[in-house]
Amino acid sequence: MTLLRRFFAGVLFVLALLTFLLAATGTIGAWIAKATVDETTLAMVDVITDYLDLAIQTMDTLDSNVAEVEERLRLVQTSLAFLRTERANGPVAQQMQQVVTEELQPALEQLTSRAQRLREGLERFNQRIEQLNQLPFLDVPTLTNPLTTLDGEITAARDQTRLVRTAIETRDNVLLLSATDRLEERLNQVRATLAEGRERTSTVQLALIDVRQALTFWSTVSTTTISALLVLFALGQLSLAAHAWGWMFGRRKTR
């Protein structure tokens, strides 16, 4: 009977010791995993933040370019009165055609290309946000609107310049006035969209600051809690191993 008791006590001692080692290893592993997860998630946040900075720079550049287009458009608008009294294909009409053909249209084509690249980058950005939002308790807003429509708005403004050219060629002052007014409205809409996009981007930037702080805080809290539970469990297993050692060598508590 004593031999059987010592055998089971020895088995219990070995199991308790192995469990203690597993708990101790788990405690160390929890902090290693925390460092890995923190590095991965915070790196993703940094990538998104860098894109937002680049997006804001792009929007500022686009806004500056639109302002330059508006200045060229005003040159055309101020020449309307002279066009009414000028003979066909006079210097005023030629100058207006030159401004539209060599300045307005190329500038708007360049704006369209940049807006398309911004939209493509926006799609990749939203994919990153969706990946980040898979983490518990995170709900970072995306930039689905209004920037996705920006390239379409600029394209519409570019197409409007063709109508301006036609009006100049046909000396249709009514059509020219209407076309330039419509072009001005479309450019104003583009700038309004850019302003709304910058505001939305700033909101996401602030949200990412909160996300970074929340990730660091909850990662530390959860890892500390798990580590504390594992330490308590390991101490319990160590105590059990000590008792098993005593049982194995026949030491009993006296009353």
pLDDT tens readout for residues 194-239? 888 888 888 888 888 888 887 788 778 888 888 888 888 878 877 8
How long, in residues, is the chain? Answer: 255
pLDDT bucket at 185, cuts 50 / 70 / 90: very high
Most confident range (mean pLDDT) of 61-75, 157-171, 202-216, 227-241 is 61-75
- Answer for the pair 201, 143: CB distance below 8 angstroms, yes or no: yes
Residue 254 falls inside a structural domain: no
Count up the domains in the chain and report the number.
Answer: 1
Question: Which residue has tokens 């925390």?
Answer: 34
Question: Which residue has tokens 């001692």?
Answer: 13
Domain enclosing residue 142, as ranges: 2-248
Question: Which residue has tokens 């020895």?
Answer: 10
pLDDT bucket at 41, cuts 50 / 70 / 90: confident
Residue 61 falls inside a structural domain: yes
Mean pLDDT over residues 108-115, rounded? Answer: 87
Q: Between vectors from CA 218 to CA 213 and to CA 34, what angle results, nearest 5°?
A: 100
Strand, coil or helix: what is 141?
coil
- Answer for the pair 201, 52: CB distance below 8 angstroms, yes or no: yes
Closest residue by Cα to residue 192 from 63, 29, 76, 106: 63
Residue 253 falls inside a structural domain: no
pLDDT at 253: 45
Residue 9 falls inside a structural domain: yes
Residue 180 falls inside a structural domain: yes
pLDDT bucket at 254, cuts 50 / 70 / 90: very low
The CA R_g of the chain, rounded to the nearest whole Å, is 35
Residue 95 falls inside a structural domain: yes
Buried-exposed string 168-203: b where 16+ CB fall within 10 A, e elsewhere:
beebeeeebeebbeebbebbebbeebbeebbebbee
pLDDT at 48 over 70: yes
More confident residue, 87 or 169: 169
pLDDT at 87: 61
pLDDT at 88 over 60: no
